[in-house]
Structure formats: structure tokens, C-alpha cells
Amino acid sequence: MMVAETTKPHVALLPSPGLGHIIPLFELAKRLVIHHDFHVSFLVITTNEASAAQEQLLRSPTLPSGLDIVELPPVDVCHYHDDTLVLTRICVIVEESLKSLKSVLIELGNPKALVIDLFCTQAFEVCGELSIPVYSFCTASTALLTLSLYLPTLDREVDEQRINATILAEEVGVAIKPAVGEGKTTVGRKEIERVVKLVIEGEEGKLMRTRALKLQESAAKALDICGSSHDSLARVAKEWKA
């Protein structure tokens, strides 16, 4: 494992397998290096089924200096059957891979902090032994995270819960919820056709695309200098530099 020596504050990031988990934390790693002057070790859970797209992303020649890719010892997944549930597969791979996490962190010189995603919570115990603070990185919105944490209470106290489709359709205004016919449990073909035409050709569809574009622009502004997301990350980075 080759990691460049540096006097910059050093943190490690650990995503679970899959590009959907890797890309958000990878973008966070680049922002810490480029905008907040950190040295980042990006820990990668590897298997013997490497993704070409993942390799291209992590081996890009344009990676900023100070961002090191550190592969954990590979996990053999050949013995898993094709019908194994994806969630089960990810959990087992993470569990097996994180057996080496303690030695890797020690070899890295005990970083100032470790940032993980929601599938890597076994790292809390390991980092507790090394006195390394652990932060869980959630790529969903704050509202969705709050809702997820509040679900046990809703399950006890509320008979009907507002689901994502209802929120997107009625509150955010970027989706249309198809109607299910009386006495039926699935959406019919004609209803699907109606909704698709409404989204693609109708005025409501144009309004939804406009709202979605505004949300995209708002998210981009939040990441800009002095934006809310940039400032929030800057506050955390200041704690790590202390």
C-alpha cells in the first residue's frame, strides 16, 4: 500500500461496493482535496469481479494530487449464487472485507476521521478501538433521512404513511402518481399510457421539467463557494483540522 506522505490533515472515506455508493463519496473526497486542502485515502472494497467502469473512475489520470486510492484485500464472490439477493451479497462482502480495516487504518497512520456510507457501519466498532471519529454519509436529502429515522415512530403511531411517490407528486411537483382502478392492485395499461403522454406531451409535463431543472440549479448553487452544502462541509473540515 503506497500512500504519499503529507502534512495536510488526513481523512479516510469508505464506500460500500457498487458505483451508486462509490461515486457520491468519491465526489466528496475530491471536494475535500480540492476545496479544503485535505489528504484523502479512499478505501475501496474489492472483489474478484471488478467493474470496468469502477476501474476507469478510480484510475483516472485526472485525479487530484492528495487523493489516494487504497484497495482493501479482495473478497472472493465466486461461491455466491446468481439468485443471491443483492442486499445480502453486499452485506456479506462488506462484512468480510472490513475484517482488514483495522490493520489498514493503522498502516495509514490513524486518519483524523473515517467517513462511511450506510452499509459499512461495522467500522464504528473498529474505529472505536483506534479512537478514530466515524461519520456516516447519506446521499439522500435531509428530509428523506429524517423520515427514515422517524419511520419506527410512524409505524407505531400512524395508520397510513406518506410515501416517496406522494411527496414527489403532491409536494415537490416533479412526478405524477398513476391511479389504480377500484378493486385492482396494479396500474392498468391505459393509465400508464395516459400518464406517459401527460409527462412527455402535456403542459403538466413541461411544468415538471421546469421544476426539476430549478431543483438541479438549486443543488448546484448549494455546492458553490458560500453555498449551504459547501459551508456545511467547511465547518466539518474545520473540526477535522483542529
pLDDT digits (tens, 9 = 90+) for 37-71: 999 999 998 876 667 888 899 989 999 999 999 99
CA distances from 82 to 75, 86, 89, 92, 96 (A): 16, 9, 10, 14, 19
Q: Say what the pLDDT of residue 29 is.
A: 95
Within 10 Å of residue 237's Cβ, how many Cβ atoms? Answer: 19
CA distances from 222 to 106, 209, 216 (A): 35, 20, 10
Mean pLDDT by 10 residues, the chain (242 residues): 67 90 92 94 82 88 93 75 67 86 94 91 92 86 62 56 65 81 83 89 88 85 83 88 82
pTM: 0.69
Three-state secondary-structure class, residue 227? coil
Q: Rounded to the nearest 10 degrees, how much is the dihedral formed by the CA atoms of 35, 36, 38, 42? A: -60
66-90 pLDDT, tens digit per residue, is: 999 999 988 776 666 566 666 777 7
Which strand ranges, in their side-by-side order, compose the sheet holding 134-136?
67-71, 39-44, 10-14, 114-116, 134-136
Half-sphere exposure of 4 (CA within 13 A, CB side): 14
Quote the CA–CA distance of 124 and 118 in Å, as a whole number: 11
State what percent of residues in the chain have pLDDT above 70: 80
Quote the CA–CA distance of 169 and 187 in Å, as a whole number: 16
First to last CA, the chain: 27
Q: Which residues are catalytic?
A: 21, 117
- Domains of the chain plus CATH, in order, are 10-139 (3.40.50.2000), 173-237 (no CATH)
